[in-house]
Amino acid sequence: MPAPWKVLVVDDQAANRSALSALLEQDGRAVVVGRASDGTEAIRLLREKEPDVITLDLEMPRMDGFTFLRLVPGIRRVPIIVVSTDSRPHSVFQALELGALDFVVKPTVGDISPSSDAGRDLREKVLAAAEYGNRIPGPEVPERESTGWRSSGISCVAVAASTGGPPFVQALLESLTEPPPFSVVVAQHMPARFTEAFAERLKKRVRFPVSELKQAEPILRGRAYICPGGLISTIKSVAGHPIARLSPPAGERFAPSADVLLSSVADAFGQEAACVVATGMGRDGAEGARAVDRAKGRVFVEAPSTAVLPTMPLAALEAVPTARVMRQDAMCRYFSNAARALAASRPPARS
């Protein structure tokens, strides 16, 4: 068995530090090498213990998590998972912009157990982050770009993302310098409340309307929609018009589910569907990408070399070996150019 990953737990509550440590060490894949009650102590332990990954509270005395995040790059490269309450979702996005790899909503002490969803999610993300920070680059997947859209064009682009996804989604939407001649629907793995905050954050940075997807909402060209956390989002064709349908999870591992969303986009739009499977942990999006491919739509995959976690892109490539593989910057350029080309090819609206 390989040596366990070394974890530094940073939280101002002793009960949380103890519960998190017990959770992370429960199966032998990780060992907590330090516990810090604030950022100042965490800086000292970072230098002394050289952890593989850090769990970080944001609200702490003396030195808070934001200051700690600003100082870490000058000391040592290490992945950081923010463990935050859900009362201030915008703080989490600030932490992601400062370099945190991902976040989990802080469970109550009673819910920090290996059998709880919250505990399992936290442990999986911490272990994945440790592997990310210490991974040895594997064989490079050849990039397969594409020139132009087929003449029938694209009506909807569905995006699947998880860990590392928010910066990817933001970059992709920001690359569209004007309202695109297609809709964009994003399944980003996030809890309820955070997806609404994510949509509001994007709305201030993107040049066309962005909103959290609502029940029975029509899916319009020139708009982007963020699937709400905690619900399953599908797109249905009703009398020839794409309409959003939201429902409680029914056994899906993730909510939103990229597989469910992408499959529904394939059904609703057929060959005018496109999907992008970006960075993330797990296989969500692979079956959905296969559905888009079967519908003769287009499948795009972020190159594993630029993905924060490459497991979702690699799973999608396994499902659709002919998918177009692009680095994040190339993906942004492609969709920006394609949007302009499609807009220019459409006949002008009648007055």
Whether 162 is catalytic is: yes
| More confident call, 252 vs 113 | 252
Q: Are 57 and 84 in contact (CB under 8 A)?
A: yes
Q: What is the DSSP string of 250-311?
A: SS-SSSS-HHHHHHHHHHHHGGGEEEEE-S-SSSTTHHHHHHHHHTT-EEEEE-TTT-SS-H
Query: Which of 189, 257, 264, 293 does the annotation list as catalytic?
Result: 189
- What does the alpha-carbon distance between residue 349 and residue 82 come to, in Å, rounded to a whole number? 48
Largest Cα span, the chain: 70
Whether 38 is catalytic is: no
Identify the band that residue 297 occupies on the pLDDT scale cut at 50, 70 and 90: very high
First-to-last alpha carbon distance for the chain, in angstroms, is: 70
Query: Which of 12, 259, 284, 293 does the annotation list as catalytic?
Result: 284
pLDDT at residue 128, as a whole number: 86
- CATH class label, 156-345: alpha beta
Residues in the chain: 351
Identify the band that residue 193 occupies on the pLDDT scale cut at 50, 70 and 90: confident
Sign (positive/negative) of CA torsion 171, 176, 180, 182?
Answer: negative
pLDDT in tens, 300-343: 999 988 898 899 999 999 999 999 999 999 999 999 988 888 77
pLDDT at residue 116, as a whole number: 67
Q: Going by C-beta distance under 8 Å and a sequence separation of 6 or more, which residues neighbour residue 33?
A: 6, 7, 8, 45, 49, 51
pLDDT at residue 242, as a whole number: 96
pLDDT at residue 312, as a whole number: 95
The one-letter amino acid at 87: S
Q: Percent of the chain beyond pLDDT 90?
A: 65
pLDDT in tens, 5-59: 999 999 999 988 998 999 899 888 999 999 999 999 999 999 999 999 999 999 8
Which residues in the chain are classed under CATH 3.40.50.2300?
5-134
Average pLDDT over the chain, rounded to an integer: 88
- CATH class label, 5-134: alpha beta
Which residues in the chain are classed under CATH 3.40.50.180?
156-345
Query: Which of 84, 91, 162, 264 does the annotation list as catalytic?
Result: 162
Identify the band that residue 345 occupies on the pLDDT scale cut at 50, 70 and 90: confident
Consecutive H or E run containing 54: strand 53-56
φ, ψ dihedrals at 164, nearest 5° = 85, 0
Identify the band that residue 108 occupies on the pLDDT scale cut at 50, 70 and 90: low
Q: What is the DSSP string of 70-117?
A: HHGGGT----EEEEE-TT-HHHHHHHHHTT--EEEEPPPGGG-STTSH
Q: Going by C-beta distance under 8 Å and a sequence separation of 6 or more, which residues neighbour residue 273?
A: 154, 155, 156, 158, 265, 266, 292, 295, 297, 298
pLDDT at 348 over 70: no
Query: Average pLDDT, stretch 221-250?
Result: 95
